[in-house]
Amino acid sequence: MNKSLLWKISGGDLNKPSYLFGTIHVVCPENYVWTDKMEAAFKKCDEVCFEMDMDDPAVMLSVSAGLTDNSGKTLKDYFSPGDYTKLSRYVSDTLGMSILMFNNMKPAILPFIFSGRSSHCEVSISYEDTLMKAAHSAGKDVKGLENPQEQIALFNILPADSVIKDIMDIVNGVKQEDTNYHKLITAYTSQDISALYDMIRATNDLGNNADAFIDERNIKWAPRMIDMMDQKSVFFAVGAGHLWGDNGVINLLKKEGYTVSPVK
């Protein structure tokens, strides 16, 4: 029952159904799950909605500005000389970029950039980029569930000390990135969203902030989704970890009287 990345939202006062799709931000081409039924659902909808409107240059500029470190420190100031050298080498080897590209950014952005990379294949695919291009080609509007300030606030709640430790654990290989990645991908390609949810909640990546990054956002999103669905048929594409659980988007919409059913 829970093995589907695509869910149909109907009932309530909706004139047309909307759809909820669980993404994973970056995958290798062979792990990109996109079926004929997903394509059909995408085509039926009037709008496409992501966690944030990445189609709006003003939004992306605001996010970039919000991730700039205004404390007077540069990235180098947060690390010992030895750790900074290791980090620089890791960024170069993994991302193919100079560490200086992140010189004025808040350290909290790095774990998310690292988690979004895929060193497991030469060419990776982003669901958000692919779906946004498809929306443009089809003349569909692109919307977002959150504004830049809400996204930036998530990074600001992470304690600097734990962020630095997290970064160096990744750099030093303390975290079993390959093992975790393959488990995540196996769950995703199996469309097992409950297993994905359990894996995300079980990791220490978010520390004590899992509720803020997952549940609290879902609770904010649900009424916004309802407002959007009342106007048009929407294809919602959000991280698959947001779909399942007591405070998952699926359950929250059901509590509001909507029928949310898997599409297989």
DSSP states of the chain: ----SEEEEEETT-SS-EEEEEE-SEE-GGG----HHHHHHHHH-SEEEEEE-TT-HHHHHHHHHHTB--SS--GGGGS-HHHHHHHHHHHHHHHSS-GGGGTTB-TTHHHHHHHH--TTSSS-EEHHHHHHHHHHHHT-EEEEEE-HHHHHHHHHTS-HHHHHHHHHHHHTT-S-HHHHHHHHHHHHHTT-HHHHHHHHHHSSTTGGGHHHHTHHHHHHHHHHHHHHHHHS-EEEEEEGGGTSSTTSHHHHHHHTTEEEEE--
Model pLDDT, residue 183: 85
Weakest-pLDDT range from 24-38, 139-153, 203-217, 250-264 = 203-217
* CA–CA distance, 211 with 52 (Å, rounded to integer): 19
Weakest-pLDDT range from 197-201, 205-209, 218-222 = 205-209
Q: Mean pLDDT across the stretch 132-149? A: 93
Spans of all domains in the chain: 6-262
CA 211 to chain centre: 15
Model pLDDT, residue 65: 76
pLDDT at 161 over 90: no
Q: What is the pLDDT of residues 51-103, one digit of tens each?
A: 998 777 776 677 777 778 888 899 999 999 999 999 999 989 887 889 999 99
Contact, 248 vs 242, CB < 8 A? yes
Higher pLDDT, 70 or 176: 70
Task: Give backbone dihedrals phi and psi of 70, rounded to 5 degrees, phi first.
Answer: -100, 15
pTM of the model: 0.85
* CA–CA distance, 21 with 43 (Å, rounded to integer): 13
Q: Mean pLDDT across the stretch 155-166? A: 82
For CA atoms 173, 186, 127, 30, the dihedral sign is: positive
Model pLDDT, residue 154: 79
Q: What is the distance between the terminal CA atoms of the chain, rounded to a whole angstrom?
A: 10
pLDDT band at residue 166 using 50, 70 and 90 as cut-offs: confident
Q: Are strands 258-262 and 141-146 parallel, antiparallel or unpaired?
A: unpaired
* CA–CA distance, 106 with 103 (Å, rounded to integer): 9
Higher pLDDT, 191 or 71: 191
pLDDT band at residue 173 using 50, 70 and 90 as cut-offs: confident
pLDDT band at residue 179 using 50, 70 and 90 as cut-offs: low
Question: Please, which residues have CB within 8 angstroms of residue 65's CB and are 6 or more apart in sequence?
Answer: none
Model pLDDT, residue 153: 82
